Structures are given as structure tokens and as C-alpha cells.
Amino acid sequence: MIANSPDWLVTLVPMPADSEQEQEESSLVERCQDGDREALSELRERNNASLRNILIARGANSSEAEEILAEVWAKCVPGGEQHPSLLEKFNGNCKVQNWLARVATNRWLDAKRQEKFRGEPPVTADAGSRTEFFYRVPATPKEDVDSTLVALLRDSLKAAFASCQPEALVLLRLVYLHDVTQREVMRMVGWSESKVSRTLSQALDHIHTETLKQLKQREPMLTLTWQDFQDLCESDPGGFLS
Amino acid sequence: MKNTFQLLAGFLERYEDEVEGRELPELTPEVESRLREFARGNLRGADQAAVLDMLKHNPQLIARVAEEAKKLRTDAGN
């Protein structure tokens, strides 16, 4: 009967592959959170190689990457009420691989900083000031899974925004956050439409370049592409630090 | 789907609020009037530059400017 119905009556749409994959991943993570060892092995098998490559691309050497990942997977094993699985902190708002990459990157950064400053700290030109070494070295990491990384991303991005020309930043906000059209902005500031468009485009490029430059200055060990940076901001849990 | 700027600004907003707190600057009648005039395209030169600088450092006020600009859509339609 369906086969004989007019086209407009029946439209069979297959479930999007992404959605099926997301559901499957969500179910796998839930099983891991429940302590299912087989599920955790499967999660590890699916993601370990990619995570290793991501860490290496971000600056870790291969033995550091392996050590960090071994720690991360060990933390994913729940150990009773006092030691829930690390995966309990995953809220599903991004792919689990992106989240694990974020956690592993943060862990690697913390480890490198502790290792780097095991001996006497270097004497710097800002000795005695609030920017001096001791005020900048992070405290012993608690169980915040990404506070080091979040601080780096935030401070780099904040500095990049601060370095934008006022008109550029205001225009970006008007157009991209408040849905004001470029034509309306053009009338507001008395510019040509092409000048408005050029300003927006150049401002975005500036933010991209300046953010990565700031990041490199703050943490030379870490190598992120612009896409990495955006993915990390996107995979931000939002509620982790509260 | 979020645009890039939305993503970045949203990220900053979450963490800036935690670090610095977010206090809305006092909206005096004079400030409101300047924002309105800016939105309507009536400011140029130093006046415009001053408003842009104020908006850069007080992004919470940009919503007011956007609101004013969008009102002009309705007014133009009448």
C-alpha cells in the first residue's frame, strides 16, 4: 500500500548517521560509567590511537602521550563511591573523543609544568612582582580536569579580544551575536558596505592570529591549530569549574 | 550552528563572569541617549569613537544598541 501511495504522502527518511553514532557513543559511555569493563575496553580501543596522535600533534612526545593516556584510562575505571569514574564528568555536549583529548591535554600540561619546575625556578626580570614565577606556576592539580587548559584558552583569547580596535569588536558583536545586519551597521557608522565587510573579516583574522600568538607566548610547549582551539572552546563543559 | 565568533565570545563570557563578575554599568539618561543616537547613525567623529570605546569595554550595552537598530526596521516598515 505504501508503495502505491503518491510521493507526497509518504516520505521515508533514514535516521542520520551522525545521530545513530551519537546514540551509540552515548550508550557506550553510560556503560563505562556503570563500571562495564568491556565497554571501557571498547572505548579505549576506539579512541586511544587518535588521542595519542592528538597529544603528539599538540606537543607531547610519544612516551609522554602513552603515559598520560594510561593515567586517563585508569581514571575512567570507577573505584567505588569515593572514586567515581572520570567519565562521570562528561556531560555529553560534545564527542567523547574531543572531551578525552581535552582532559588528556590538560593533564599533560600539568605534568610538564610540574616536571619543568622541579628544580630551582629561573630568576626572571619580574622578580618580586605579581607576575613573578611563583605566582604563575599552577598549584598542585586538584581534580579539576581542565582548569590549566581553560585558563590558557581564556587568557589568550581575552588578550586577543583586547587588542582589537573598538569598532571592529563592536561590529563583530552586533553582527554575530545580536543579528544586526551589515547594512544596518553600515548606516550606524556611516561606512560603505564593503568597508564593514572588510572590517569584520580582518577582525576575525586578527583574533585568530593574535590568539594563537598569545597562546604560544604563554605556553610554548603547547601547539594548537586554530581548529583545535575552537574545538576546545566548543567541547568546554561549561559547568566543570562550578 | 554557532558561528566562530559566537563560539569564542560565549566561551569568554562563561569564564569572565567567574573571574571578574559582571556588573552592568549605570545607564544614565545621557548614556541611553548616546547609545540611541549611535544606533540611529547620528554620531560621527569623536562622539562616535567615544561610544565605540565605551561599548568595547562594556559589551553588555551592545544589546541596547542592537535593540535600537532593530526598532528602525519596524519604523521603516510603517
CATH number, domain of A200, equals: 1.10.10.10
Given a cut of 70, whether residue A123 has pLDDT beyond it is no
Percent of chain B at pLDDT above 70? Answer: 81
CA–CA dist B62, B65 (Å, integer): 5
Quick one: pLDDT at residue A242? 34
CA–CA dist A63, A79 (Å, integer): 26
Of A145, A167, A183, which closes a domain? A145
User: For A172, which of B5, B39, B70 is closest by C-beta distance?
Assistant: B5
Q: If we measure between CA atoms, which residue out of A172, A198, A171 comes closest to residue B48?
A: A171
Mean pLDDT, rounded, of chain A: 85
- Residue identified by cell 550606524 is A188
Task: Say if residues A161 and B47 touch (Cβ distance below 8 Å).
Answer: no
Of A79, A111, A145, which closes a domain? A145
CA–CA dist A172, A203 (Å, integer): 8
* Mean local confidence (pLDDT), A41-70: 96
Say whether both A137 and A208 belong to one domain: no
CB of B12 within 8 Å of a chain A CB? The answer is yes
Number of domains in chain A: 2
Say whether both A185 and A106 belong to one domain: no
Q: Which CATH number fits the domain that encloses residue A131?
A: 1.10.1740.10
Quick one: pLDDT at residue A130? 53
The answer to whether residue A11 is domain-embedded is no
The answer to whether residue A57 is domain-embedded is yes
User: For A158, which of B12, B48, B52 is closest by C-beta distance?
Assistant: B12
Question: What confidence tier does A239 reach under pLDDT thresholds 50, 70, 90?
Answer: very low
The answer to whether residue A163 is domain-embedded is yes
CB of B38 within 8 Å of a chain A CB? The answer is yes
Given a cut of 90, whether residue A14 has pLDDT beyond it is no
Whether A187 sits inside 8 A of B41 (CB atoms) is yes
Residue type, B49: A
A-B Cβ pairs (cutoff 8 Å, strict): 90
Question: What confidence tier does A20 reach under pLDDT thresholds 50, 70, 90?
Answer: confident
| CB-CB neighbors (< 8 A) of B9 in chain A | 172-173, 176-177
Given a cut of 80, whether residue B56 has pLDDT beyond it is yes
Query: In terms of residue numbers, what domain contains B56?
Result: 4-77
Output the CA angle A169-A174-A176, nearest 5 degrees: 90
Mean pLDDT, rounded, of chain B: 86
CB of B50 within 8 Å of a chain A CB? The answer is no
Of A84, A114, A145, which closes a domain? A145
Say whether both A112 and A55 belong to one domain: yes
ipTM, interface predicted TM-score of the complex:
0.89
CA–CA dist A123, A109 (Å, integer): 22
Number of domains in chain B: 1
Say whether both A119 and A159 belong to one domain: no
Whether A174 sits inside 8 A of B65 (CB atoms) is yes
- Residue identified by cell 551509540 is A24
Whether A173 sits inside 8 A of B59 (CB atoms) is yes
Say whether both A208 and A180 belong to one domain: yes
Say whether both A196 and A242 belong to one domain: yes
Highest mean pLDDT among A11-20, A140-149, B67-76: B67-76
Highest mean pLDDT among A40-54, A88-102, B6-20: A40-54
* Mean local confidence (pLDDT), A185-212: 97
Q: CB atoms < 10 A from the CB of B71, how many?
A: 13
Task: Say if residues A222 and A215 touch (Cβ distance below 8 Å).
Answer: yes
Say whether both A115 and A47 belong to one domain: yes
Task: Say if residues B64 and B32 touch (Cβ distance below 8 Å).
Answer: yes
Q: If we measure between CA atoms, which residue out of B72, B75, B73 comes closest to residue B37?
A: B72
Query: In terms of residue numbers, what domain contains A192?
Result: 146-242
Question: What confidence tier does B27 reach under pLDDT thresholds 50, 70, 90?
Answer: confident
Give the pLDDT confidence of A154-184 residue by residue, as tens digits. Answer: 999 999 999 999 999 999 999 999 999 999 9
Say whether both A105 and A212 belong to one domain: no
- Judge residue B55's burial from the number of C-beta atoms within 10 Å of its C-beta, 0-12 exposed, 13-18 middle, 19 or more buried: buried
Question: Which grid coordinates are listed for A75?
Answer: 581514571
Given a cut of 80, whether residue A13 has pLDDT beyond it is no
Say whether both A187 and A156 belong to one domain: yes
Task: Say if residues B35 and B25 touch (Cβ distance below 8 Å).
Answer: no
Quick one: pLDDT at residue A240? 41
Say whether both A153 and A113 belong to one domain: no
| CB-CB neighbors (< 8 A) of A201 in chain B | none
Question: What confidence tier does A31 reach under pLDDT thresholds 50, 70, 90?
Answer: very high
The answer to whether residue A135 is domain-embedded is yes
**SS3 of A195, please?**
helix
Given a cut of 90, whether residue B40 has pLDDT beyond it is yes
Quick one: pLDDT at residue A137? 53
